[in-house]
Amino acid sequence: MKFWKSLSNLIEETVPDWRDEFLSYKDLKKQLKLIYPKDGDKPLNKRPRLDDDQMDGGDGDGGEVEKEVIDFVRVLEDEMEKFNAFIVEKEEDSVIKWKELQDGVEKAKDSNEELMRVGREIVDFHGEMVLLENYSALNYTGLVKILKKYDKRSGALVRMPFIQRVMQQPFYTTHVLTKLIKECEAMLDRVFSRNEPSVAPHATEVESLDNKTSNAIAERSLGVANELPEIEYTESMYVKPTLSALRVLKEIRSGSSTVNVYSLPPLQGNTQDGDWKKVTVLEQTAK
């Protein structure tokens, strides 16, 4: 399935307030076709790689890089700033919300009814964090794909310098989200699991997690409600969108036979039927 089709399906299924925050991939493709009509797939003569001054909108050496290259990069930068603003705001709100949930667990420890109420909120919060991680990965993938199309049509070498900048942006570096996900899982396991309380992960272990494990965490942790029979009727607005995001990421990975500097990190381990059985259980509890 083409990336745009997968992304558009995901946008339709995601949280309504998030729909305008994804990459405007279709509009970018249209703009690209207007700038560089597809004439027998023959790219224009190779142009120099954009340097940092040109990426920032400077004149550089003038005629070496055509105006449309700079204009197209500016549009991509606007998209990137949109992602950054969305993620930063969500991260700030989430840190505050997580502290409130932790306080809520402490206050509710003597009341099973209140503890279950807080537990439902934590499950919902966990789902939102997983969805935010996948939001980051999908928008990064979209940028890589549209830049690949641009380089092919224009002959310019835009993708590498731009992606190097992307990897330093707030929306790409999701360490805060990964840390919140792990702390959420530890809290749910420690407070609500029927099993013996587990030891919370050491701070250095939490900090060592990065984007390369985020989607494996997501697939495993989507089964968390299966281990929480007390929270049987959890209603989360994030379950189905998160499942959709995970499916799209799986399609993207399975559709590429090569691994390069632009690739998303591979899923850790194999996504077998057992993983999706856990997902199905959680999806049913959310209905």
Closest CA to 279 of 225, 234, 214: 225
Q: What is the pTM of this model?
A: 0.70
122-136, 184-198, 261-275: the lowest-pLDDT one: 261-275
Total number of domains in the chain: 1
Span 42-97, pLDDT tens digits: 444 445 455 555 555 445 444 444 777 788 889 999 999 999 999 999 999 999 99
- Decide if 181 contacts 129 (C-beta within 8 A): yes
For the ranges 146-155, 237-246, 261-270, the maximum mean pLDDT occurs at: 146-155
pLDDT(180) > 70 = yes
Lowest mean pLDDT among 64-78, 135-149, 197-211: 197-211
268 by DSSP, 3-state: which? coil
Domain that holds residue 155: 3-285
Quick one: CA torsion of 210, 212, 215, 220, rounded to 10 degrees? -80
Picking from 35, 114, 41, the residue whose alpha carbon sits closest to that of residue 74 is: 35
Whether the CA torsion 71, 76, 80, 82 is positive or negative: it is: positive
The stretch 5-31 carries a mean pLDDT of 89
Rounded distance between C-alpha atoms, residue 213 and residue 48, angstroms: 36
Residue 118 and residue 187 in contact, taking contact as beta carbons nearer than 8 Å: no
pLDDT at 24 over 70: yes
Identify the pLDDT of residue 87. 97
pLDDT at 173 over 80: yes
Confidence class for position 231, pLDDT limits 50, 70, 90: very low
Q: Is the pLDDT of residue 8 over 90?
A: no
